[in-house]
Structure 1
Amino acid sequence: MDFKDYFELSQLYASYAQAVSSSQWELWPEFFTEDCIYRLQPRENYDRGFPLATLSFESKGMLKDRVYGIRETLFHDPYYQRHIVGTPVVLKAEANRFESEANYAVFRTKLSELSTVFSVGRYIDVVVRTEQGLKFASRQVIYDSEMIPNSVIYPL
């Protein structure tokens, strides 16, 4: 992997974090290919090879449906999220395809409350080059804690 590709990969991670931290939900699906996978799964299940996931989407259309749900149908106390993402580690690089991993932390701030740690874990990604640039073909969000708040509304 050359510097140009690594810089583009780093920008993909940073742009993703910026979009979901600033509630630009309509941008979220655009980070993915049409036939993509997005899974939110506890570390315990991932490590044991269990398929059960908290959220599992299998296409960009499903991600767009989730955005519609966030904007139009889900009712909850409003809150903000802030994503802090570590430098991606490239595990495998092929022509136009990269397997990478990065640690993340998401903080949640409810109105008139202190910020709290919402989720900590790692992203396990397959990134491919498209005509529009690098996109996630697969993003597995593996969170460390066995306990999560009773609802996950926004993407991590």
Structure 2
Amino acid sequence: MLDFETWQQLLALYTDYALALDTNEWDRWPEFFVDDCVYKIQPRENYDRGFPLATLAFESKGMLKDRVYGMTETIFHDPYYQRHVVGIPQVSAVDAEHIVSQANYAVFRTKPDELTSVFNVGRYIDIVRRTPDGLKFASRICVFDSEMIANSIIYPI
């Protein structure tokens, strides 16, 4: 069971993460993770069947930083804004080093001069590590529900 202070830190991790993405603070995104992290965006069908195929998969903070460089410096696309709505995390396991949790999410996308649309919906499945710098994601798997996704996922979910 989590003590109140750790619960507050977990909630802050989830909300600060969403805020950084919603405000396009891309350089902050990798800092929510430990160096040897895993970040995946994976269809529910593959996740439920134990298939490893993911839409995006990164295996270190360095790979996340490369993605930030790519999406801010080399990928050209129509601009859009994201807005994350994240549910309260459900904690399923706790030990001295890790917290295992998951939370539902919905990401909305707004392009200039267009109506807002639902972009991606699913759940985060997380392993959070306790570090000297606070709680960080050791693993974040974004399992999206739809078998159909937009033709490109540029920004993190």
Matches within 5 A, 1:41-52: 41-52=42-53
Show structure 1 runs of 4+ deviating over 4 A. none
Residue of structure 2 in register with 1:111 after alignment:
112
The number of aligned residues is 156
Question: Are 2:90 and 1:84 equivalent residues in the alignment?
Answer: no
Question: Are 2:61 and 1:63 equivalent residues in the alignment?
Answer: no
Flag structure 2 segments of 5+ consecutive residues without an equivalent: none
Q: Distance in 1 between matches of 2:6 and 2:38?
A: 22
Q: SS of 1:72's equivalent?
A: helix
Matches within 5 A, 1:141-152: 141-152=142-153
Residue of structure 2 in register with 1:138 after alignment:
139
> Aligned-pair RMSD on alpha carbons?
0.4
Q: Distance in 2 between matches of 1:141 and 1:149?
A: 15
Residue of structure 2 in register with 1:155 after alignment:
156
Residue of structure 1 in register with 2:24 after alignment:
23
Using the TM superposition, give the Cα deviation of residue 64 of structure 1 relative to its aligned residue in structure 2, in angstroms: 0.1
Q: Deviations over 1:18-54 (max 9, x none)?
A: 0001110000000000000000000000001111000
Flag structure 1 segments of 5+ consecutive residues without an equivalent: none
Using the TM superposition, give the Cα deviation of residue 96 of structure 1 relative to its aligned residue in structure 2, in angstroms: 2.7
> Percent identity of the aligned residues?
65
